[in-house]
Amino acid sequence: PGCSLRANPDLLTAVTTGAGEVPVALTIPNSVALSGLVVHQQVVALPIVAGGIAAATSTNALALQCGAF
């Protein structure tokens, strides 16, 4: 309750962490053709404990526009 998916799940990545933090790196080529491209990102955390998923939480959505402004 209260969590909304705000980005299309076009690319899904599963990561594990023990520290509660997940570093995310996205390499975008230096190309004029990508100027103005908007990329959306959102993280949904599914803590797994013995017996299954304990809860589901999500971050706010992030919108990144490529280019120099």
Q: If you average pLDDT over residues 5-22, what whole number do you get?
A: 77
Confidence of residue 69 (pLDDT cuts 50, 70, 90): low
Give the C-alpha distances (Å, rounded to integers) separating 2 from 19, 40, 59, 60.
24, 20, 11, 12
Q: If you average pLDDT over residues 36-48, what whole number do you get?
A: 84
Cβ contact 64:39 at 8 Å: yes
Give just the sign of the alpha carbon dihedral 62, 65, 68, 69.
negative
Three-state DSSP class for 28?
A: coil
Q: What is the mean pLDDT of the chain?
A: 81
